[in-house]
Amino acid sequence: MITRITTITELKRLFVETLLNKTSKVTKVSDQSILNGIAYGTAKIGQKALKEVALVESHLFPEDAFGSNLDLIAQRNGISDRFGASSSSTYLRIVADPGTIYVAATNVFIGGGITFELTEDLTIGSLGVGYGKVRSQSTGSKTNIASLTISTVTPAPNGHIAVANEYQATGGRDIESDQTFRIRIKNGSTFTSRGTLDYIAQALLVFNEDILKVYNSGVNDQNQHIISIATQNGIDFTDNELSQLLVDITPYLSLGEYNGTVNASVNVVLQNIQYQYIDLDFRVELVQTASVDEVRRDIQTAMTKYIDPRFWKPGQRVEWDNLLQIVKDAPQVKYVNDSFFTPNIDTVVDPAKLPRIRGFIMRDLQGNLIQDTGAVISDVFYPTDEDIAFQTTIVK
């Protein structure tokens, strides 16, 4: 805040100091005197004036505003309204008979009191196991449920055996806080930089508040520019949603990308960002009093921060020793056998993709699966020995 709110005592001292500097008729201002009353009245008026100036600043500068004042500043500056709540997403490891089909609009998964739905239909391959991406039907931070809590599918298709989320659901968000809203308002000036990715991202945010970043993914066979969209909660847009977004931002495109006669995009296509999946499998020794659920949650939270898409830069790689160190640094982990840590090489992430952890298998030093307290998963579906066929077919 530019204006400094000053106390009555300090303002009175300034008044008296100025008075004594400008006249020789007064040498002392005592309590209960007329001049003391005049000084107090002047200081009180001055303090009220400072307060009103400060209130005006809170309507002009986002650094000094909060609550409804931030909403007014955003509206005045042409920034989209405060974002509402959004849903979370994760991946499910589904075990079923080969050929079993899970339909996105029909089969829903339940865990932790939250209902999830597939983003696209999933058919289980010959290995009898597959990964499906799901997003929560409800919104808010409550949808960020822990790993191994999704264990039920309704209705269960013929051939279904088991399902579990090896990794926690992330991306669920409550209504936008003052802090993040303030940052977005201050960065809103990029909206005026036409032709840049930041400008396109700002235009997309007007129509969908879940968008995190946009990336230039080159051109397709029709020589159209491909713009990849990453969401803050990792959810993929459907084809219809992508088509509608393209229609919405078409007027914001440059002359080379927008045909005003037909009001349509002529040289731009939108697609979901592609993810480079990381599947973890490691052996640890926990302290005797360790809570398995807490260890799993702590490790996954730290790994999620390590590959946070907000700060990921194209060309970076996921270093396996950093992942190993995250496991070692977990509060209740006593020892990690790095000889059985997978992945055991750095993951080179394609510049057009973002890294995302999909599989998460935690074992003891003998290779036995460390169960959660609810016994959601079973050793039957997690072989102790490395399955090269599974790694090269499913993980690859």
CB neighbours of residue 121 within 10 Å: 13
175 within some domain: no
Rounded to whole angstroms, the Cα distance separating 384 from 95 reads 17
Characterise 361 by phi-psi region: left (phi > 0), alpha (psi -120 to 50), beta (else).
beta
Average pLDDT over every residue of 372-376: 47
136 within some domain: yes
149 within some domain: yes
385 and 325 in a single domain? The answer is yes
Rounded to whole angstroms, the Cα distance separating 242 from 261 reads 22
Where residue 81 falls among pLDDT bands split at 50, 70, 90? Answer: confident
**Domains contained in the chain, number:** 4
- 83 DSSP 8-state letter: P
206 and 123 in a single domain? The answer is no
268 and 278 in a single domain? The answer is no
185 within some domain: no
CB neighbours of residue 370 within 10 Å: 16
Where residue 92 falls among pLDDT bands split at 50, 70, 90? Answer: very high
* CATH number reported for the structural domain that contains residue 223 in this entry: 3.30.300
Which two tokens mark 300? 């996954």
Residue with tokens 């079973």: 378
84 within some domain: no
242 and 297 in a single domain? The answer is no
3 within some domain: no
Long-range CB pairs of 185-191, under 8 A, 24+ apart, other chains included: 185/62, 185/70, 185/73, 185/74, 185/77, 185/79, 186/62, 186/63, 188/74, 188/77, 188/78, 188/79, 191/78, 191/79
Indicate the pTM of the whole model.
0.58
Residue 26, pLDDT > 60, answer: yes
- The partner residues of 122 in beta bridges, in order of sequence, read 102
Q: Which residues, in sequence order, are CB contacts of 391 under 8 Å at separation 6+?
A: 279
Lowest-pLDDT range, 168-177, 318-327, 328-337?
A: 168-177
Parent domain of 237: 193-272
122 and 222 in a single domain? The answer is no
pLDDT at 390: 36
201 and 240 in a single domain? The answer is yes
178 φ, ψ (degrees, to nearest 5)? -60, -35
pLDDT at 248: 85
Q: 262-291, pLDDT tens digit by residue?
A: 555 667 889 999 999 999 999 999 998 888
Long-range CB pairs of 50-58, under 8 A, 24+ apart, other chains included: 50/3, 50/4, 50/5, 50/6, 51/5, 53/3, 54/1, 54/3, 54/5, 57/1, 57/2, 57/3, 58/1
pLDDT at 155: 94
- 70 DSSP 8-state letter: H
Which among 122, 124, 119, 120 is positioned nearest to 96, based on CA atoms?
Answer: 124
